[in-house]
Structure 1
Amino acid sequence: MAARPGRAQTLAAEAAGPLLTPAQFLGYTLGSRFTPQADVSRYAAHVVAHAPGQMKLVRYGQTYEHRPLAVVEVASKENFAKLADIAHNNRRLAGLESGAGSRQLPAVAWLSYNVHGNEAVSSEAVMQVLYDLANPQDAEMQQYLRNTVVLLDPCVNPDGHDRYVNWYNRVQNQSPQASPYSWEHHEPWPGGRYNHYYFDLNRDWAWQTQQESRQRIALYNQWLPAVHADFHEMGPNNSYYFSPAARPFHADITPFQRQFQNTIGEYNEKVFDQHNWLYFTREVYDLFAPTYGDTWPSFNGAIGMTYEQGGGGPAGLRYARVDGDTLTLAQRIAHHAAASRATIQATAEHHDELLREFETYYTTARTQPRGEYKTYVIAAGNDPGQLRNFTQYLDRQEIKYGFAPKQAKAKGYNYLSGKTETVQIEPRDIVVSMYQPKSTLVKVLFEPKPQLEDSLTYDITAWALPYSFGVKAYALPTRLAAAATAPASAMVKGSAAATEKPYAYLARWNSLQDVRFLSRLLQQKVKVRFAEKAFAAEGQQYAPGSLVITRAGNEGLGAKFDQLVRAQADSAGTVLHAVKSGFSTTGGDLGSGSVRAIKMPMVAVVTGPGTDATAFGEVWHFFEQQLGYPLTVLGTEYLSTVPLSKFDVLILPDGNYADVYPERALDNLKTWVRAGGKLIAMEGAARFLADKRDFLLKTKPAASGDSSKAARANPYRGLRRYGDAQRRGLEDQAQGSIYRVALDNSHPLAFGYGDAY
């Protein structure tokens, strides 16, 4: 068997012969078919190999399905040798690295393609852009590279991209059918938009829940580009969208960022007008919520933009639009390639201005931070696991924080009460100052109530981190001194209990880390119990839900019992307490009937047509990536044949279950529940069951009608204007709303919580 070629051999092979156009390399014309991600990567490697003094392929990670993630770094020959200096220079200009930055170096433009997998034109267009950047005969592009460094991410979401491309290439007709009724325009569930876990990566920039996002943003923060463009597609009957963005703008989008949206828009207008291509600006795509590939970079000092080409998953190779035109993949490629080029040109020709304003942005952030609040305090008394999650999140964002050195009182906004009041600052509280490079991002992420100029917005309107993480926190209008490092007692970590061979180990049930700890113990065959009632032992108070791991009952583990329990606690971040006796000073003793054994449940979740892909993906990701707990995934196509008696818990994510559960299948579900099965129905699943007998679910209808005196006086008041239709569509939505919910924490479902959350 021949040896597999190594990386050096592969690069040498790619460099052999002349630089090829995409068509020459692939063997077909761009736009005549969709290209798998592996071939896009191969072409990128080919181009890089032919421009060794101008291009570099940098792998920054991999997807959950083990596909590579990489960017291509592009510069002039003169600047290529200084790439590391240019990246460090941006960070020095931002104040994230010591030393003075220079505005004499090139500006950096980062172009991201195909974050939504079935918006597959982006990865086709990037091959043309790569060729143009490497082509020595393209004098204009070579001139642009004198003043800009270009980073291209050819495919942000390879898993979703290949899910779409593999499907389309399998079903397409030999002659592409433009009719929107042809099956090649009807992507099956779940579609290629999402990543492996069916998360929308374009809504993950701020939260970084997904592996792809964390890896990409780690590299992004090394560069801090002055311009970031995010390439998308929208419905096939639309034209093309580029900046300037629609309102509402977040209040922290600076005047220069708003103005430069117009500047780049003018570059795009010019090329689109020259070709008589249709386009629109200042509609639909706003700059408000921090979750996107335009807003999150904007709050990190860049000019962040979205580009939207009409097409997307339904468009295929040819699509008959309602206006009578036929939209082709080749046209879509041409538009994205032209917008990419215009963005690079605008960055190059305004590099001085971009770097000057970039430096000003961060200088202002450090010295004159915007907003009412100057310090955010996260109480050290929060659960250690929650604090660990919180500080890890801040670290990923490169948000600096310190620790309160002593007790103090201050006036501030209490996130839990929603009121401005006198708050008590305790030693070791986490202190996030606004006097730092990332203060704009801090303000946006922490602000209790974002200022919204218009409710007609593209997405969520509330997201404050203390609410998202469920931590006690305060926002102070004053600057608070903080120590750079925490005392040892403030470090958040698991505890290897000191007693060598205790009677039992106790762990409080307060955070996701504790759930992960329990998950690992159960999978290691450790017998665990939980306290139904509060108790006290050896000077410590334990709330209902606390875990009890006794030596009794675990004799089969022998000498490895202690090491196993302690190792899993350290790994999960759970604090263990070792006790020498089973006696409790208050409440039930550890052998009481109120300390109940935990059986390892068999859990299943339903997926497939009829369920919402992202709702299922949330459950799937939660069990696999956050809990590390085994989960059986059941398809709706064969659900009626599954013996539910094999499972203890069944999760129905959001969806439309009318076809999933016809009457006979519903009877089987009822029988399983009556036999002790635990059913978790979410959103649409709960609504579906609320209409069915025996499930005992109640709905509360929303108030309707206007019984006011004004309405009675003017019976036509209720008539609605046609022009307000879009705004009326938002009336019953609560995007991003955050509610305080009262809890019955005597119930096992609410163990570990307070009276409200």
Structure 2
Amino acid sequence: MHTTISTNVSKFTRFMACATSAFLFTALLATLSASFKSFAVDSDLDYLPSDQNYDSSIPTPESVLGYPVGTWHVRHDQLVAYMRALDEASDRISLQVTGYTHEQRPLVLLTITAPENQSNVEQMRQAHLERLRSGEAASADDPLFIYMGYSVHGNEPSGSNASLLVAYHLAASQSEEVTKLLSENVVLLDPSLNPDGLSRFAQWANMHKGYNLVSDPMHREHKEHWPSGRTNHYWFDLNRDWLLLTHPESKARIKQFHQWRPHILTDFHEMGTNSTFFFQPGVPSRKNPWTPDKNVTLTNALAKFHAAALDNNNELYFTEESFDDFYYGKGSTYPDAHGSIGILFEQASSRGHAQESINGLVEFGRTIQNQFTTSLSTFEGAMATKSAIANYQRQFFNDTQKLIDDDDLHGFVVSASKDTQRFSRMLSILSAHQINYEVLEKDFDIDDVNYEAGQSIYIPLDQAQYRLIRSLFSERTSFVDNTFYDVSNWNIAMAFNLQYDAVEQSQRRKLDTVQQTWRSSQSAQGRLENNAYAYVFEWHSSNAPAMLQSLLEQGVQARIAGKAFTSRTDTQDAMSFAPGSVMIATALKQPDDLFNILTKAQSEFDIKIHSINTGLTSSGIDFGSRSFVPVYEPNVLMVGGKGTSQYEVGEIWHYLDTRVGIPASLIDLSDLDSVDLSRYSHVVFASGQYRSVDKKTASKIEDWVKSGGTLVGQRTAVEWFAKQGWIENQLLSDETVDSSFPLDDLQFADKQALASKKRIAGAVFMADIDLTHPLFFGYQREQLPLFKTNNFVLKSSDDPFTQVANYVEKPLAAGYSSPEMAELVANTAAVVANPVGQGVVIAFVDNVHFRGYWDGTNKLMSNAIYMSPLL
């Protein structure tokens, strides 16, 4: 390399001797200067600090991969293979498989500490947890537990690639600082938080790499196709799932978090190529109000070590800008609710192997170096501030107890409703987050609402997870800073559409509870009659669509009740069945083993099937009524691909696939013009840009609907539906929205604040729903919490037969929305079902599957599919 540079300088000197243009001199000097800044990696040692006396018996990443780190993007299987090699070679490392992804890739966690600690690490962990429970002060000899997490977004791979070097450094270095770090502390290394996404992106980047790297930002390597590797198998953003726990990666990670309760947790990311490097703290005014100020103080103390390390490498960086610490569902923020210190790192991305930027060439190797550098600065900072960090967890415990003692509220009471499966899912989330609850032993009345004994729970605030509980039941609508990087509310009871109330200290004495696991009193394990006239199950359960789908796939002929009825069952003289109940008549051609099919389904889906011995009902429709409408196995087409939201398409796919069992067809938007729609019963559009759909294709879709098809869309797809005239409602124009925000007396500095007022960044809005409409069969409450993530407003059409859900007069229930936007949303359409010919167009103004968490609206998609014959 030095020879090349000397030759270049010699040529440059000779050329300048005869050059006459000062401009040419400047340009050539800049070019030469740039060549000195290139980041060449000839071996793994180029990344590593000197004077470490690395143990030669420990394999380097290069010796296992076959090339230096950063030459190629590491695949997850290669990464795991190297970690296993370290586990075998080093007595400092123990490797554990904590779970598996959707694609069955192992989630691995390395426990790294001194050899003498390895045999005692379980006792160290338990002693640490006991100190947390008791609030006991930490001593100087107590270890820190430092959790290093890398690349939760798969196409931000510098973190996972850096984890190879971090693991090697900790396993092999015999330096004084590493020896001291590991003898006194425990490092938990999670090398890939998103294995499926990492593998998807590694394949993309590697398949486009040539012998000569192309840094042109327009090169295909840097323009990853749909879906991106950012997401997991179902195209979810796992960095938003720490609280919601929709996916196995998150469930495994949270289990480990509570197993260890680390003092520090790092979260290594990438950002836009034209950025530099970011480390927390973020914008000071945008932290969660339940996070103590001391957390920010300690984050600032650690930041000084990151700054010094990056200064030493002459790297550009920034802090206290752009990113916030509000949403507890992110990796760098979830720890803050538990007395841990979460730290976000963001590196400008090469999105491949090398890419041009406004700051020069962004090379993959340099992005890895920065993540490795700040990993080491995290260790250095932790050691230097060890006493303050350890004592912070005790202070957090004591401060939390003071908040509990000063709170006017004692806890929250929540009712199970008739959908016990949905309630059970909420309880599983609470339990995963170590939130304790009690079961009501006696009925409890509050604000004219009765909470039934055995079917309601009580969540006391007097427990370690006080701050997290407060955030999970927050109805806050005003904030110090109204700009949010992510959502402003995640109320769990609203998400699951469950009746709940806050219980004040004075009301607690009226509650009789018992500490036990909740069990539904609505047992599904009844005995079916073998020769019944018909069988019926209700539609209240969120498992009902999955059970119906399973029965239809097995050839069972079923009917949907369009109206209520009362019938005598095998267990009681008269039972009322709500509209939407599913009836299976033995008079129809059924499978020979129908009884066995139903018996198995009842057990598998935990839904009671009632045996009926007569077709004559005591009230309502009889079993031969035309109001019992045939329902057939659906054939669903989802429109995806470039131009559509990978997140929303993934959420719909995840719901249909994992919760209902529908094998939906996914077709790219670009191929829609060539698709024969006649084979499909339903077509579903997520948000997207549909200007590319030509008139011929739109006309084909319209003809298909008129022939009996069901067209479903949400969010921006609804705007396209309106423009096609498939629904009568029209979108509120941008000009109308802008006119609600006068520009008088504003300055340039007010521009961002104005944009924040117009933006609805994840808040809960309440809507009135028509319980008599088939789209809401199975629902019980007349108001439904909807999750709104943009300022999309669909004007009312004043047609009660097509506009079946409307936002209420004062719709904002929780989270931030400016008064102007809340007023614009008030009394507008939330759900529309418009008949077109023999078919129907269904429009959801909001995302009914938001992050797989908003379970109260999930079922609307199933109703759009299975109840469509009634429309």
Which letter maps to 2:771?
N
Match in the other structure for 2:307? 269
Match in the other structure for 1:5? none
Match in the other structure for 1:714? none
**Paired residue for 1:530, among 552, 555, 560?**
560
- Separation in 1, partners of 2:375, 2:56: 27
Match in the other structure for 1:413? none
**Paired residue for 1:76, among 114, 131, 151?**
114
Which letter maps to 1:248?
R
**Paired residue for 1:485, among 516, 532, 542?**
516
Does the 8 A contact of 1:650 with 1:678 survive in 2?
Answer: yes
Does the 8 A contact of 1:118 with 1:312 survive in 2?
Answer: no
**Paired residue for 1:65, among 67, 88, 103?**
103
Match in the other structure for 1:677? 709
Which letter maps to 2:440?
A
Match in the other structure for 1:449? 476
- Separation in 2, partners of 1:352, 1:707: 55
Match in the other structure for 1:646? 679
Match in the other structure for 1:239? 276
Post-superposition Cα deviations, 1:382-430, rounded to whole Å, max 9, x if no partner, equal: 53222222212222222111111213445xxxxxxxxxx4654432221
Does the 8 A contact of 2:135 with 2:394 survive in 1?
Answer: no
**Gap change, CA 1:582 and 1:395, over 3 Å in 2:** farther
- TM-score, normalised to structure 1, is 0.89
How big is the shift at 1:377?
Answer: 0.6
Which letter maps to 1:31?
G
How big is the shift at 1:205?
Answer: 0.7
Does 2:162 match 1:129?
no
Match in the other structure for 1:22? 61
Match in the other structure for 1:37? 76
Match in the other structure for 1:591? 624
**Gap change, CA 1:89 and 1:505, over 3 Å in 2:** farther
**Gap change, CA 1:312 and 1:513, over 3 Å in 2:** farther
Match in the other structure for 1:463? 490
**Gap change, CA 1:176 and 1:724, over 3 Å in 2:** farther
Q: How does 1:400-411 map to 2 (within 5 A)?
A: 400-410=436-446
Does the 8 A contact of 2:350 with 2:362 survive in 1?
Answer: no
Match in the other structure for 2:466? 439
Q: Helix, strand or coil for the counterpart of 1:374?
A: strand
Q: How does 1:172-571 map to 2 (within 5 A)?
A: 172-246=209-283, 247-311=285-349, 313=351, 316-323=352-359, 325-362=360-397, 365=400, 369=404, 371-410=407-446, 421=447, 423-428=449-454, 429-449=456-476, 452-478=479-505, 479=508, 480-485=511-516, 490-491=520-521, 494-497=524-527, 499=529, 501-538=531-568, 539-553=574-588, 555-558=590-593, 561-571=594-604
Post-superposition Cα deviations, 1:701-747, rounded to whole Å, max 9, x if no partner, equal: 36638889x97xxxxx5374222333333333211121111222222
How big is the shift at 1:156?
Answer: 1.0
Does the 8 A contact of 2:138 with 2:391 survive in 1?
Answer: no
**Gap change, CA 1:584 and 1:285, over 3 Å in 2:** same
- Separation in 2, partners of 1:241, 1:383: 45
Post-superposition Cα deviations, 1:84-136, rounded to whole Å, max 9, x if no partner, equal: 223323332343xx998975531211111111011011111111111110114
Post-superposition Cα deviations, 1:234-266, rounded to whole Å, max 9, x if no partner, equal: 111111111222231111111321221112112
- Separation in 1, partners of 2:250, 2:738: 46
**Gap change, CA 1:507 and 1:91, over 3 Å in 2:** farther
Q: Helix, strand or coil for the counterpart of 2:239?
A: helix
Q: Helix, strand or coil for the counterpart of 1:730?
A: helix
How big is the shift at 1:697?
Answer: 5.2
**Paired residue for 1:690, among 703, 722, 728?**
722
How big is the shift at 1:310?
Answer: 1.2
Q: What RMSD in Å do the two structures reach over aligned CA positions?
A: 2.6
- Separation in 2, partners of 1:694, 1:367: 57
- Separation in 2, partners of 1:707, 1:512: 42
- Separation in 1, partners of 2:525, 2:759: 45
Does 2:764 match 1:738?
yes
**Gap change, CA 1:643 and 1:229, over 3 Å in 2:** same
Aligned length: 716
**Gap change, CA 1:181 and 1:602, over 3 Å in 2:** closer
**Gap change, CA 1:681 and 1:72, over 3 Å in 2:** same
- Separation in 2, partners of 1:747, 1:234: 46
Match in the other structure for 2:736? 704
**Paired residue for 1:581, among 587, 592, 614?**
614
- Separation in 1, partners of 2:361, 2:247: 37
Post-superposition Cα deviations, 1:123-168, rounded to whole Å, max 9, x if no partner, equal: 1111111111011423211211122211111111111112111111
- Separation in 2, partners of 1:527, 1:84: 56
How big is the shift at 1:664?
Answer: 1.9
How big is the shift at 1:487?
Answer: 8.0
Post-superposition Cα deviations, 1:536-567, rounded to whole Å, max 9, x if no partner, equal: 22332222111223333254334xx2332132
Does the 8 A contact of 1:197 with 1:618 survive in 2?
Answer: yes
How big is the shift at 1:77?
Answer: 1.6
Q: Helix, strand or coil for the counterpart of 1:216?
A: helix
How big is the shift at 1:25?
Answer: 3.3
- Separation in 2, partners of 1:136, 1:669: 64
Match in the other structure for 1:618? 651
**Paired residue for 2:775, among 746, 749, 756?**
749
**Gap change, CA 1:531 and 1:423, over 3 Å in 2:** closer
Does the 8 A contact of 1:90 with 1:101 survive in 2?
Answer: no
**Gap change, CA 1:60 and 1:698, over 3 Å in 2:** same
- Separation in 2, partners of 1:181, 1:222: 45
**Gap change, CA 1:183 and 1:371, over 3 Å in 2:** farther
Does the 8 A contact of 1:496 with 1:570 survive in 2?
Answer: no
Q: Helix, strand or coil for the counterpart of 2:666?
A: strand
Q: Helix, strand or coil for the counterpart of 2:768?
A: coil
**Paired residue for 2:179, among 126, 130, 142?**
142
- Runs of 5+ consecutive residues of structure 2 not aligned to the other structure: 1-54, 569-573, 785-871
How big is the shift at 1:640?
Answer: 2.1
Q: Helix, strand or coil for the counterpart of 2:267?
A: strand
Percent identical pairs in the alignment equals: 27
- Separation in 2, partners of 1:179, 1:498: 68
Q: Helix, strand or coil for the counterpart of 1:165?
A: helix
Does the 8 A contact of 1:534 with 1:541 survive in 2?
Answer: yes
- Separation in 1, partners of 2:749, 2:256: 45
